[in-house]
Chain A
Amino acid sequence: MSNTIDLKKGLDIPIKGAAARKVVKTVVPDVAALKPSDFKGLVPRLLVREGDSVLAGSPVMCDKRNPEILITSPVSGTVHQVLRGEKRKLLAVLIKADGKNEAVDFGKRKVAPLTADDVRELLLKSGLWAGLVQRPYGVMADPAVKPKAIFISAFDTAPLAADFDFALGDQAGHVQTGINALAKLTGGGVHVSLNVENYSGSPFHKIEGAALHIIRGRHPAGNVGVQISHISPIKKGETVWTVSLTILAAIGKLFDTGRCDLSRKVAVTGPAAENPAYVEAFPGMPMSAVSEFCKKDCDVRYISGNVLTGENVGADGYLGFFDNQVTLIGEGREKELLGWAKPFRPKLFSTSHCYFSWLTPKKVYDMDTNLHGGPRAFVATKCFADVTPMEIFPIYLIKACLAGDIDKMEQFGIYEVLPEDLALCDYVDPSKNDIQAIISNGIDLMIKEMA
């Protein structure tokens, strides 16, 4: 039993629209999309043509540089359309589901006798390899690498995030199998972090074969990157892998049942969602499947993921490969007369005491996507450090990224962060800079220069 890691910094944004712990709908597959952009580092090569029939688990794309990494179909059916953008860039492959949900049989395996090579081969073949994320940089895991360790966060602190205990509680057995399998790929063991608040109640606290860590704190305490920096920080030259609990359950299921089954409980959340709750769905699910949750007469933004890091996919978009949450939120296009000068703005939340929302800590807010200001140079910068529970100087890292200074970025901790770890800086910045985009550009530059 390890000690509790106490994170003092952070912020839980009090946004309205948490999902009730019940499944209200099973999304019947109609069309599913596979988006190469979900996988950082993937240079896609298409393996199918329009009209080909596929099963759940059949390869659809592979990585050009590492052709053994496959992206496989989440459903069975036929390849309906290949969407391309400028310069024929592959945007998405749409698969029309036949409703039979037939899957490729990879064969049940007992994990214990398998070697690392067996595990790797099966993961690559099934397409679940693409679910492993490698740090630094947050790219797809390189099969040729033996990572220092593998980290898993068993809770999510992001705004309105799906509750893993509810969403994956019935899959604890598969999660255990997944951990046993992944443990073979690393010398440093598997680390699982649990939330202090429901540590003993969590179905995952009985997990064996992994080092358990208990974390206390507000968001981003549930971010695996923050946890790594407190458990075993990534130094230059080191590589670690992370995997989301959702993918881990799918990996376990692959070994237990022989099928690649990415279906998951997806939390439909957000201030613009009527009766937010969970739906039984699968990655690549079209947003139209949850449009019935939208409040009427409201200009809604469909976010695949949470409000801090998710992607605005639009009403005709699709759920991302890694996401188990849809956030519906109103577009804030209204202009507020003298808004910034009003002494009280009871409908808005601010972490700053320049407003009075800190006097009502229990209140939740009907937030929208208004920027609440205009872009400015950095002025007040202490707020970044207040929401970043890591041993880094966020503002120096951000400025190093802006300057494109590789050495400085390295010194200030670029190896330890992904944009999601600094997502709250986006939120709190009074100068309305897009910090995540800056960090993301910095990471891209590192990948380019260090390759």
Chain B
Amino acid sequence: MAEESNVSKPGLFEKGGKLGFLHSTADAFETFLRVPGTVTRRGAHIRDAIDLKRVMIIVVLALVPAALFGMWNVGYQTSVATGAGWGFLQMFWFGFLKVLPLYLVSYIVGLAIEFISSQIRNEEVNEGYLVSGMLIPLIVPVDVPLWMLALAVAFAVIIGKELFGGTGMNIWNPALLARAFLFFSYPSKMSGSEVWINLNRGTAVDGFTGATPLSYAFDGADGLSKLDGAGFDFWSLFAGFVPGSVGETSVIAILIGAVILLWTGVASWKIMLSSVAGGLLVGWLGTAFGVTDIPAYYQLVLGGFAFGTVFMATDPVTSAQTETGKWIYGFLVGALTVTVRLFNPGYAEGMMLTILMMNTLAPLIDHCVVSRAVSKRAKRV
């Protein structure tokens, strides 16, 4: 009898149980609610309280200010464009209703694929998508059709991440990959001056163009006066009262996120700092050689520079892993982004493709850094 009680039946969701094939999913919900009672088996007997769930939730938290501001700004832009004259809450509520479906699509599609893949790989579900899913709605125009978004999310998660083995194995930032997919597949919904502001089925007031500040700033060498002419001064760019992707406009909201990420040490300050340095340097060279009259510091508040630097370039998986590599990687992200702005007026937003390119090059940078260190090691006495 005693033996029988030892061989207990596997639980409903355990391996061998009736719904055993769903154990990754069941496990994900279980560990989401309760930290598992697993004890150390090998190696160090005690472990730090930190886990990936905590790391990821910090990043999600850091994105909240940008997301909230983005919702308000969606309403604000619509209100201004249509001359509706809404109040604060009305603007926010309008934006909230517009952005919520983006979030639903992003999380439902992304997490479903993530769960299925984990199930296939027989692993625990990784929390990485919590962040990607939070990022994606913030870097698309608010009016992107939901089916396109769903397609882009599926592409990014399957091709960009799961094929490589899931979070931690991917080469490219999944959120940016989703945006790149949209950009190349449906350019009419991702660029130009019609996509950034929802007109609430109404008509725009006279003189409304809907173009982003970036498109004024790099339209010829007199960008600054064009920006001013369109009513975009430094303050409005810094605060984010401008059209653009949902979460990218407010540098203030992004800076709050940056403080959280740096305070907790989740993101690398080296990457952020060197990216800013790279952007400023090339921006300064641009003005010094008369390519543009946009002051270098404007580069930091225009377009997706701040958002990309703080939330995208610092992704620990796809950025450089070595400390020296992080300086080089960050600097190149900033410098190349501004270079694209200066010399490619056709599509001035260089942040997305720059980061994707630097993601691709990050292993090379690391390889060089590590090889140097290895040969130095070999020579030491």
Contacts and interface: CB of A to CB of B under 8 A. Distances in A.
Interface of A: 13, 15, 159, 233, 301, 303, 307-310, 312, 327, 329, 331-341, 345, 348-355, 357, 367-382, 385, 391, 393, 395-396, 411-413, 419, 423-424, 426-432, 434-437
Contact of B54 (A15, A309, A430, A432): A430
Given A335-B35, A339-B34, A350 B317 contact: no
A218 B128 CA distance: 33
Contacts of B50: 350-352, 354-355, 372-373, 428, 430
Contacts of A13: 46
B45 interface: yes
Given A335-B36, A339-B34, A426-B44, A380 B55 contact: yes
Contacts of A381: 316, 321
Given A327-B45, A349-B49, A370 B37 contact: yes
Nearest to A336: B35
Q: How large is the interface on B (under 10, 10 to 19, 20 to 34, 35 or more residues)?
A: 35 or more
A71 B380 CA distance: 38
B2 interface: no
B321 to A, nearest CB: 6
B29 to A, nearest CB: 12
A391 B127 CA distance: 32
Interface string B24-36: 0000000101111
A308 B45 contact: yes
Contacts of A413: 377
Contacts of A380: 52, 55, 266, 316
A334 to B, nearest CB: 6
B370 interface: yes
Contact of B47 (A327, A391, A411, A432): A432
Contacts of B292: none
B207 interface: no
A335 B34 contact: yes
Given A303-B45, A430-B52, A371 B126 contact: no
A379 B39 contact: no
Interface in B348-381: 370, 373-374, 377-378, 380
Given A378-B168, A393-B322, A428-B48, A353 B265 contact: yes
Contact of B373 (A329, A371, A393, A436): A393
B144 to A, nearest CB: 29
Given A377-B167, A379-B128, A350 B377 contact: no
Most chain B CB neighbours (cut-off 10 Å) among A15, A307, A373:
A373
Given A355-B49, A427-B46, A376 B168 contact: yes
B316 A379 contact: yes
B10 interface: no
Contacts of B38: 370-371, 374
A341 to B, nearest CB: 6
B165 interface: yes
Given A303-B45, A339-B35, A376-B127, 6 more contacts: A309-B44, A338-B33, A371-B38, A377-B169, A411-B378, A434-B41
A423 B44 contact: yes
B36 A354 contact: no
Interface string B276-297: 0000000000000000000000
Provide the main secondary structure of the chain A interface.
Answer: loop
B268 interface: yes
A391 B35 contact: no
Nearest to B40: A369
Contact of B321 (A350, A395, A412): A395
A371 B42 contact: no
A400 B34 CA distance: 34
A336 B34 contact: yes
A373 B377 contact: no
Most chain B CB neighbours (cut-off 10 Å) among A308, A329, A372, A412:
A372
23 contacts: A159-B46, A301-B39, A301-B45, A310-B45, A335-B35, A337-B33, A339-B34, A340-B54, A341-B53, A349-B49, A353-B263, A372-B35, A377-B167, A377-B168, A378-B168, A379-B52, A379-B168, A382-B316, A396-B370, A423-B44, A427-B46, A429-B48, A430-B52
Contacts of B126: 376-377
A352 B265 contact: yes
A368 B57 CA distance: 24
A334 B36 CA distance: 8
Contacts of A372: 35, 47-51
A424 B47 CA distance: 9
A348 B168 CA distance: 26
Contacts of A334: 37
Most chain A CB neighbours (cut-off 10 Å) among B38, B41, B317:
B38
A437 B43 contact: yes
B39 A333 contact: yes
B323 interface: yes
Given A373-B35, A375-B124, A340 B42 contact: no
Contacts of A396: 370
Contacts of B47: 370-373, 426-427, 429, 432
A350 B42 contact: no
B52 A376 contact: yes
A334 B37 CA distance: 5
B36 A379 contact: no
B55 A430 contact: yes
A353 to B, nearest CB: 5
A223 B57 CA distance: 36
Contacts of A373: 35-36, 47, 50-53
B244 interface: no
Nearest to A355: B49
A428 B37 CA distance: 18
A347 B370 CA distance: 39
Contact of B46 (A339, A354, A369, A431): A369
Contacts of A424: 44
Interface string B96-134: 000000000000000000000000000010111000000
B141 interface: no
Contacts of A368: 39, 46
B188 interface: no
A350 B48 contact: yes
